[in-house]
Amino acid sequence: MTSRNIVSSEWLEAHLDAPDVVVLDASLYLPTDPRDPVAEYREAHIPGALFFDIDEVADTESDLPHMLPGPVEFSSMVRKMGIGDGQTIVIYDGAGLYSAARAWWMFKTMGAEHVHVLDGGLPKWKAENRPLESGVETRPERHFTARFNNDGVRSLDDVRSAIEEGHQIADARSLARFNAEAPEPRPGVRGGHMPGAVSVHYCSLLNDGLSYKPNAEIEAIFRDAGIDPDKPIITTCGTGVTAAILALALDEIGARHVAVYDGSWTEWGGRTDTPVVS
């Protein structure tokens, strides 16, 4: 392993047959991206990997995209997939380091202890000519006990209060979207940002979109943006996906009071009663 949250491709290949290791392909793409993550998984995935559908393991009663389900629902969904207590969960995606961080955050918020993201994701794995399989993988049902961490997630009302109290908010969207200079990818969502939020584009933390930069550089990026890792932080983005990239990076550098605003800008910018700065 390379860190508390990241595993190398060398480590994973050496542990593919370990009975306590479960690998998840958590690929997800923007609605404007024509890639089909399920089709790509069926065509080629890391041996033994299950497909973890972030759009399916979600709150089905919400009209917002892939909102975190409740702990009972989450337990039921992942139990049926064959993910259980005590397992080491390794997550990757087809972009490199994108939606895997969201799945990591979901499992951590549900109390899973041994959750990791594959360094470089599937692109790095393929570039190293490591083994791939096609088709669909299945595993026997396992018991999963969710221990929901309320401190890891924030709601709309939580963010309203945080803004009034001057808490730190880091926005993972591009600076152009943050400043309403580029359109939002989802219709009916205003441009701009929350009062007091600062821009920390998730791409600034990555090398070629595949791996995190060194911890010292990551900490410098946050501090230069005005974020103190030693104080509570809320991360946000478009739909709570790249906000998790910030949350994972902050965990890597030792920040321990980090929460993701699950509804993120799709919820905030999609309403008419929320303050917006552009």
Of all helices (H) and strands (E), which one includes residue 6?
A: strand 6-7
CB atoms within 10 A of CB 126: 15
Q: What are phi and psi of 222, to 5 degrees?
A: -65, -45
Q: Is residue 12 helix, strand or coil?
A: helix
Set 118, 159, 237, 241: catalytic member: 237
DSSP bridge pairs for 6: 117
The amino acid that residue 110 corresponds to is M
Strand 211-212 and strand 206-207: the pairing is antiparallel
Q: Distance (Å, rounded) from C-alpha 194 to C-alpha 79?
A: 37
C-beta separation of 24 from 50 below 8 A? yes
Residue where the block lists tokens 């790095």: 124
CB half-sphere exposure, 66, CA atoms < 13 A: 23
| Cβ neighbours of residue 68 closer than 8 Å, sequence gap 6 or more | 58, 59, 74, 106, 109, 153, 240, 262
CB atoms within 10 A of CB 48: 15
Is 203 considered catalytic here?
A: no
Q: What are phi and psi of 252, to 5 degrees?
A: -60, -35
**Catalytic residue list:** 237
